Amino acid sequence: MGMTMTQKILAAHAHQDSVQTGQLIEADLDLVLGNDITAPVAIKEMDKFSNKGVFDKDKIALVPDHFVPAKDIKSAENCKCVREFARKNKITNYFEVGQMGIEHALLPEKGLVSPGDLIIGADSHTCTYGALGAFSTGVGSTDMAAGMATGKAWFKVPSAIKFNLTGKLGKWVSGKDVILHIIGMTGVDGALYQSMEFTGEGVAELGMDDRFTISNMAIEAGAKNGIFPVDEKTIEYEKAHGADQGVITSADPDAEYTKVYNIDLSEIRPTVAFPHLPENARTFEDIPEIKIDQVVIGSCTNGRMSDLRTAAAILKGRHIAEGMRCIVIPATEAIYLKAMEEGLLKIFIEAGAVVSTPTCGPCLGGYMGILAAGERCVSTTNRNFVGRMGDVTSEIYLASPATAAASAIEGKIADPTGY
Q: Which domains does the chain have, with CATH numbers?
A: 5-264 (3.30.499.10), 272-418 (3.30.499.10)
Sequential pLDDT tens for the chain (419 residues)? 799 999 999 999 999 999 999 999 999 999 999 999 999 999 999 988 877 789 999 999 999 999 999 999 999 999 999 999 999 999 999 998 888 899 999 999 999 999 999 999 999 999 999 999 999 999 999 999 999 999 999 999 999 999 999 999 999 999 999 999 999 999 988 899 999 999 999 999 999 999 999 999 999 999 999 999 999 999 999 999 999 889 999 999 999 999 999 999 999 999 999 999 999 999 999 899 999 999 999 999 999 999 999 999 999 999 999 999 999 999 999 999 999 999 999 999 999 999 999 999 999 888 899 999 999 999 999 999 989 999 999 999 999 999 999 999 999 999 999 89
- Predicted confidence at residue 154, as pLDDT, reads 96
Report yes or no: 162 and 229 within 8 Å, Cβ to Cβ.
Answer: no
Q: Are 116 and 5 in contact (CB under 8 A)?
A: no
pLDDT recorded at residue 413? 97
Radius of gyration (Cα) for the chain, nearest Å?
A: 20
Element (H, E) at 87: helix 73-88
| CA atoms of 412 and 122, how far apart (whole Å) | 36
The bridge status of strand 152-156 relative to strand 24-28 is: antiparallel
CB–CB of 273/280 below 8 Å? yes
- Taken in order 95, 96, 101, 104, the sign of the CA dihedral is positive
Type and span of the H or E element at 377? strand 376-379
Q: Residue 57: phi, psi to the nearest 5? A: -65, -20
Asked if 146 contacts 164 with a C-beta cutoff of 8 angstroms, the reply is no
408/271 Cα distance (integer angstroms): 16
Backbone torsions φ then ψ of 256, nearest 5 degrees: -100, 135
Q: Residue 81: what pLDDT?
A: 95
Q: Please tell me the distance from the alpha carbon of residue 383 to that of residue 412, in angstroms, as a whole number.
A: 19
d(CA 178, CA 347): 27
> Which pLDDT belongs to residue 98?
86
pTM of the model: 0.95
pLDDT value, residue 48: 86
Q: How many residues in total does the chain contain?
A: 419
Please name the residues in contact with 195: beta carbons below 8 A apart, sequence gap of 6 or more: 4, 5, 6, 7, 158, 159, 160, 161, 223, 224, 225, 226, 227
Q: For residues 339, 340, 344 and 348, what is the CA-based torsion angle, rounded to 10 degrees?
A: 120
Cα 401 to Cα 80: distance, rounded to the nearest angstrom:
34
Contacts of 84 (CB under 8 A, 6+ apart): none
Q: Please give the Cα distance from 284 to 401 (Å, whole number).
A: 16
DSSP letters, 141-184, are: HHHHHHHHHHSEEEEEPPEEEEEEEES---TT--HHHHHHHHHH
